[in-house]
Structures are given as structure tokens and as C-alpha cells.
Structure 1
Amino acid sequence: MALGEPQAVIAAAVGCSLEDLTARFGVELLYGHARRRREVVGLMFAKARTGNATLIKELHDLTRLVAAERAAEGEQTAATPARLGKKVEAQQAAETAGVGTEWGDDLGQAASLN
């Protein structure tokens, strides 16, 4: 029904508020597009298997496009290293505190007094 329409337009068409729409149909709004796309691609595959050359080419192009998008996403993810948490950063800083300074030996582990 929505076909990419903004949620406010969908709410107006259904006759409810935007808040009511998101409360009652949150899952459908979140996953509806993917489900519809899966259905359409399934229909395209079925027709392509019957020998429809246009749909075979369309599916080929679609597959290449999705592969290129995923490769681009992978490059972006690889280019941005994951940030460590504050506690992990503090622990790593504490482990190397004083290394290469005259205070380095003083900051090491204290000898056990037992």
C-alpha cells in the first residue's frame, strides 16, 4: 500500500495519527519494504526461469548493483576502525604508563609483602 510514501502520508491515508501508526504497525513499517522487495524479486526469478530475457538481464543488473553496494559498505567499514570503550582505553593506557620515562620503574607492579 505505501510504496515508499512517508509515514505521515500513510497515517493520513489510513485515518490515524502518526503516533498511532508507529505504535500499531511499527514492525510492518520497519520490515515491510524488505518483505515486498523479497516478493517482487521472487516473482522476477520465477519469470526469468521461464526464459524471459528482459527479466534475466534485470536480475543480472540488480545482482551486480547489490554486490557493488555491499563492497562499498565493506570499504567504509574497513576504513573506520572500531573505537574502544573508555575502560579498555584506560586499561591500555595504564599498562604502558611511564614506559620510556624515568618514572617507568616506579609505576611497575609492587612486590608482594607476604
Structure 2
Amino acid sequence: MEEMTAVGEKPETIAAALRISVARLQRDYRDALLHGHARRRREAVGLLFAKARAGSLPAIRKVLQLTAATAAAGQPAPAKKLGKKAAAQQTARTAGEGSEWGDDLMPADGHPH
């Protein structure tokens, strides 16, 4: 039943295959309907890694492809490049920091804008 859930079969199809009503399927097999896909995915990934460990070149390539994709997804997004106006405003906010000008470049009200 989890296999059918994992490949995207509708509850009506699964119930018909098991010769039960959809209501009974949803009541008695709730956990399998909710988590069957994840369990079968875990099983498939385990089999893939086992094949890769055994030396299967296609499996090794697939593992490398999957792990590279997840590693890239975990990387922070590159900083968005500021436009000319925004970059000038950001530079102006910190213009006097670390120089002999110090607070001389701070606006009259004492708060940066």
C-alpha cells in the first residue's frame, strides 16, 4: 500500500486495489497514506547508496548529483548587488567611520538617515 502511495496513486485507486472503502482506507491506513512516500523514498535512497558503495558507477554518479544539489541548496544566496543610488547611500552612512573626520560627517540631528 505504501508503494502505491509513493508513486502517487489516488486514495480511490488504492482503496479499490485493497477492496475496501476510501473511508476505511483513510481511517485504518492513515499513517501509511501520510508517511508512505517518505518511507519508500528513504528505502530507495538507502538502496542507491548501497549500490554506490558496491561500486556501481551510475549509482555513484547519482549520489554525487544528489549530494551536490543538497550542498548547493544549503549555501547562502549571494548578496544582492546594490544599484548605484543604494550603494551611494550606504557608503554615505558610514563615510566618517574610522577616519579623522569621525562625527563631523554625521547629520546635524545626530541620527544617520
Matched, 1:54 2:91: no
Alignment partner, residue 29 of structure 2: 25
CA distance in 1, matches of 2:36, 2:58: 26
Give how far 1:67 is off.
4.9
SS of equivalent residue, structure 2 residue 29? helix
Whole-angstrom distance in 2 between the partners of 1:18 and 1:29: 11
Q: TM-score, normalised by structure 1?
A: 0.55
Question: Structure 1: which 5+ runs fail to align?
Answer: 76-114
1:12 equivalent among 16, 22, 30? 16
Cα RMSD between the aligned structures?
2.3
Q: How many residues are treated as equivalent by the alignment?
A: 73
Change (3 A) 1:19 1:67: farther
1:37 aligns with 2:55: no
TM-score by length of 2: 0.55
Gaps of 5+ in 2: 78-113
- Distance (Å, rounded) in 1 between the aligned partners of 2:26 and 2:69: 31
